[in-house]
Structure 1
């Protein structure tokens, strides 16, 4: 689930692979938002926190195996930042991934919004699967608490991604660990702030929810990126680049 592409001239075989990878990042983020965030928007009252957490984990698990061989299935700017800082991808490719992820999240949110509008009585503004603190938190977590929680939760997720893709001996099983890690952080984080750990996942729904979701959005961009960066630094210590196993 890692990408090994570096800078290439347009028209080369590697450039074609990169283009496919960008499409996968767009598609993967779109599907993660539509199905996982959609589980909260469309079925939250029926499946509860546990069901929503499993929806995120299972969606990530399925996409890891479907898209991982092509793009690494980052579908998360924090993961891409971790890969960049771990020197597993080029800056240009990371920027292309970030753009694809954000656009994919926005399109996925638009499709989810269209479906939600067809459900009588369903609120499509306000919550809409967004993240928040204070009155928008189930436990009324304050800003500082939400900031720390997002850093720690994203650290766990990105660290797991970096660790299980570091050792080729784990190939074939890394998707399971990654899916379980995402489900775990959602089990903990949904009552706290709705769980972001993914700036793209937060940006898309917030654009359609508007209001407080937009004014609080900055935290769910900044904190996950900090968590991803810390994970990359710690991973370099626990899993040195020249380590074979």
Structure 2
């Protein structure tokens, strides 16, 4: 046992970060930093893998809206809330679907399923602008179709009576409250995405096996528990857009800007924090 404990300690401290200020944040002993994605990559447009990834994002976001909005509808139309899944069940539906869908699509498209995640990864130069825009369009189309199928199942009257799963700022909260909740909630999600998929972290902590979709799904679950009472929890502009378009009532559009501005700000803050503070972007040594 003593030998094993020593191995664990050696593994945990294998890659130290004791570089003096003004030196590169990585060493050859750690791993090779992947090159940043180009801003524009025209060659992608001639690649089947590019379109296959977009289709995967469309289908994943379609399934995400289908399952989650149906769950919200089932909760909303029950007169006895104790007999439904409850707020915790809704949070599990969102978190569980993200876990399953990221697991299924990560090897094809990266499993974004969220324009805010795509935006954050784009800012970190993990994908090109061409791919980022294509993903966001496909995610929004998938979300609209998913919410549309739910409306087809529930019927126009029931769907509209129950609010269509659209995100709005709840009574008793200001628009500023809603914006803040969306910023912080998306920060938690995107920061988790960066941490769970960080190649440098995996190289340093290889003694700690982790399934990346699990912490991402769990982050979505926890954020929903916290912010469902405030905004219904957006943290995903495609999810908010799909529900708003199919529901299409004035009060759903009044606050809709919050569910784009908030997630994009939160994603940008998470990208900056992770890249500059957590990962310490490499820079040249001082003379």
Give the TM-score band, short-chain normalised. Answer: 0.7 to 0.9
Give distance in 1, aligned partners of 2:221 and 2:136: 23
Distance in 2 separating the partners of 1:90 and 1:201: 23
Q: Which runs of 5+ in 1 are unaligned?
A: none
Q: Structure 1 residues 25 and 239 mapped into 2: Cα distance closer, same or farther (>3 Å)?
A: same
Change (3 A) 1:41 1:130: same
**Are 1:161 and 2:199 matched, yes or no?**
no
- Give the stretch that moved more between structures: 27-36 or 232-241: 232-241
Quote how far apart the aligned CAs of 1:64 are. Answer: 1.1
1:110 paired residue number: 148
Work out whether 1:207 is the aligned partner of 2:234.
no
Among candidates 60, 81, 96, match of residue 134 of structure 2: 96
**Aligned partners of 1:11, 1:226: CA distance in 2, in Å?**
29
Give CA-to-partner distance per residue, 1:69-113, whole Å, 9 cap, x none: 101110100000000001100011000001001111111111111
- Aligned residue for 2:263, secondary structure, equals helix
Question: Structure 1 residue 128 and structure 2 residue 164: aligned?
Answer: yes
Structure 2 distance, partners of 1:61, 1:201, is: 16
Give the direction of change, closer, same or farther, for the CA distance of 1:99–1:67 in structure 2 (3 Å limit): same
Q: Report what 1:75 is aligned to.
A: 113
Larger Rg: 2
- Structure 2: 5+ residue runs without aligned partners? 1-35, 283-287
2:57 to 12, 15, 25: 25
- Deviation for aligned residue 1:10: 5.8
CA 1:43–1:126 in 2, change beyond 3 Å: closer, same or farther?
closer
Per-residue CA deviation, residues 117-148 of structure 1 (Å, 9 max, x unaligned), is: 18xx7342562111112xxx1x6211111111
Greater fraction helix? 1
SS in structure 1 at match of 2:166: coil
CA drift at 1:171: 7.2
Within a 5 Å distance, the mapping from 1:1-245 to structure 2 comes to 7-9=41-43, 15-44=47-76, 45=81, 46-117=84-155, 122-125=158-161, 127-133=163-169, 137=170, 140-167=172-199, 168=202, 169=206, 173-209=211-247, 210-236=249-275, 237-240=277-280
Coordinate RMSD, CA, aligned? 2.2
Number of residues paired by the alignment?
232
Which TM-score applies when normalising by structure 2?
0.75
Deviates more, 1:180-189 or 1:214-223: 214-223
Distance 1:171 1:205, change over 3 A: farther
Offset, 1:214: 1.5
